[in-house]
Amino acid sequence: MQIIASGIGDTTGIGFPLIDYHVHLTDKFTIEMAVEQSQKIGVKFGIVEHPGPRYGLMNDDELSNYIEILRAYPVYAGLQPMYRDWQGLFSKELVQQLDFILMDADTVPVGQDNYLDLWRHNNYLEDVDAFMDLYMAHIENILRHDPITIFSR
């Protein structure tokens, strides 16, 4: 991966480029629509897809195809893993072709194949102190072991 803000002109007049690294495509928001919106508002987009069994990109062929499609457009190609076990799905060489990897700690492992989705508002924590210890360890593991470019919170 490289420093991806290099070579981007300041189209905003504020002295630095504006970049949104968290743009998801859908059937109703296509890559063409994203590029049009990006150019309209003067913000370069980083397109992200979730890897893993619950979301889609599962192997090198799928990741390679994803990167190849995005390279035809003036956007950055990224991943947004939800779970820490995503790295084993892809070769290191292919992952290095991405412009960035964005990850947060909002999907917290709480046992064997169980996760707490922090963005959901119906979570109940019986022991807040124990959860905070678990959550901080989860954040530390991401920062120490996952090849991420951007950690968001």
Q: How far is CA 26 from CA 4, 31, 134, in A?
A: 24, 9, 33
Residues 86-122 pLDDT 10s: 999 999 999 999 999 999 999 999 888 889 899 888 8
Q: How far is residue 48's CA from residue 64's CA, in Å, rounded to a whole number?
A: 14
The pTM for the full model equals: 0.85
Closest listed residue to residue 102, CA positions, set 121, 126, 76, 128: 76
Amino acid at 109: P
pLDDT at 112: 83
Residue 112 DSSP code = T
| Alpha-carbon span 28 to 8, nearest angstrom | 28
44-97 pLDDT, tens digit per residue, is 999 999 998 877 899 999 999 999 999 999 999 999 999 888 999 999 999 999
